[in-house]
Amino acid sequence: MPTYATAEDYTDYTGKPGPDDIARRLARASERVDELLSNAIYETTAEGVAVDPVLKDAITRATCAQAAWTLAVGDEFGTTSAFKNVSMGSVRLARVDTKTGEAPRYAQDAVSILLQAGFLIAVMTW
């Protein structure tokens, strides 16, 4: 599986350098982006990278957004998506989507980038 972004891409996207382990974090973020793209159809290179430069850019930015989000929320592996509430001593966290009652697994910015690029279909519920 390819890693869709580099440390330089991350710095360009966020405006600041990533942590020392940014390459590993971008690889993990690439796995999440792959999940979002599981039904997408687009031409790729032998390495699995989008051929179309616009689509490639969207995937790179979505990967950077996913990595930045997991760094911001401190949940690189998506473990809090399995819990509604987390308690550690006197600290109590509730990370739940108000619509679904579930903790988010994907960065909203990553989803928006892929949606605008045409990879995803918006589902509206009224």
Residue 93 lies in a domain: no
Confidence check: pLDDT of 88 > 90: no
Angle at 3 between CA 12 and CA 57, to 5 degrees: 45
Q: Which residues contact 22 (CB under 8 A, 6 or more apart)?
A: 7, 10, 67
The 10s digit of each residue's pLDDT in 53-73 is 999 999 999 999 999 999 998
Residue 58 lies in a domain: yes
Residue 45 lies in a domain: yes
Whether this prediction's pTM lies above 0.75 is answered by: yes
Residue 91 lies in a domain: no
The residue segments making up the domain with residue 112 are: 7-76+108-116
Q: Closest by alpha carbon to 61, among 5, 1, 108?
A: 5
pLDDT at 125: 47
Residue 34 lies in a domain: yes
Residue 63 lies in a domain: yes
Q: Report, as an integer, the average pLDDT of 20-31.
A: 96
pLDDT at 120: 83
pLDDT at 124: 46
Number of domains in the chain: 1
Residue 50 lies in a domain: yes
Residue 29 lies in a domain: yes
